[in-house]
Amino acid sequence: MRVDRQTLHYLIAKKLHKAGLTSEHADIAADALAFADARGIHSHGAVRVEYYAERIAKGGMTHNPNITYQETGPASGILDFDNGCGLVAAKMGMDKAIAMAKKNGIAVVGIRRMSHSGSLCYFTEMAAEQNLIAISMCQSDPMAVPYGGAEEFFGTNPIAFAAPTEDNRIVSFDMATTVQAWGKILYAKSKGVPIPPTWAVDKQGEPTTDPHQVNALLPIADAKGFGLMMMVDILSGILLGVPFGKNVSSMYADLSKGRDLGHLHIVINPDYFIGLETFKKNMSAMLDQLKQVKPAKGITEVFFPGERGKKREANYLKNGIEIVDEIYNYLISDAIHYNRYDHKNKFAE
């Protein structure tokens, strides 16, 4: 099923509002989710709507949160979102960070007590579109083993980065700190195919090629990825006074409770360093030079981070966004949710 972005946005917003979000918050969340699908990040798009709707309907996402914001210094602030919609919380936090960085050169804004915040590049690109550099990170529930460990401790704990150029190309990446996301394991299970032994471990903490035996994911680059996922948890968890490590709430264990997650935005104004125009000029020069790099055997072109996502978006805007029929049928149905997620394990099983 292919739908245009405007229709997808409308259907998502309508469903989230019916579940209990205010119309304003439902609209913001729908924009972030439709963005993900338009970029081909389908794991964080419309596929998440039914889960969000079930959590909203069951009270685990505050419908009309009591939001407070405190500037703790000239370049820092904390937004408490009262366990409201994480997509809205992260956007509001980035709005605060953008304004602060424009005024004072740099901003570090933490968001505490929020729900799942989706695709982080949506927020970092907000800053890049306003000639700022952004780094964003958030914690997630435990499903990855630490380096040398045999049981899960940290989450996939993603990091995103975006920066502008002088010709409207945006360098943008959004990555989990595990080798692969759980969605790739699910795909292998559905197809009945093995996975590489570097992706995950079984209940004994041993590498497995059987997707049905996966109990936890592995960090990227062994100890390096472990260090990164720990850094994310420190900066978006301990620093903000929310649960950390194994104490981070499960996405599915009890949808009637708030998740108390943490998220951190760092925004830098290049005008306070080398100067905006020089920065953007050099960014464009870097990308031009990257595009001249000889491709490896079997590769036709070297892409800079974010380039392929923009190409997918252009294709989807022209031809419609591809949505799984089951998801589309749910979006146009009268149902809020089908009780599919509550009291499931960390892999929604």
Q: How many CB atoms lie within 10 A of CB 319?
A: 10
- Say whether 116 is catalytic: yes
- Output the 3-class SS for the chain: CEECHHHHHHHHHHHHHHHCCCHHHHHHHHHHHHHHHHCCCHHHCHHHHHHHHHHHHCCCCCCCCCCEEEEEECCEEEEEEEEECHHHHHHHHHHHHHHHHHHHCEEEEEEEEECCCCCCHHHHHHHHCCCCEEEEEECCCCCECCCCCCCCCECCCCEEEEECCCCCCCEEEEECCECCCHHHHHHHHHHCCCCCCCCEECCCCCECCCHHHCCEECECCCHHHHHHHHHHHHHHCHHHCCCCHHHCCCCCCCCCCCCCEEEEEEEECHHHCCCHHHHHHHHHHHHHHHHCCCCCCCCCCCCCCCHHHHHHHHHHHHHCEECCHHHHHHHHCCCCCCCCCCCCCCCCC
| Beta strands at 261-268 and 106-114: parallel, antiparallel or unpaired | antiparallel
| Beta strands at 106-114 and 216-217: parallel, antiparallel or unpaired | unpaired
d(CA 200, CA 204): 11
Dihedral sign (CA 6, 328, 159, 263): positive
Active-site choice (116, 263, 265, 337): 116
Known catalytic residues? 116
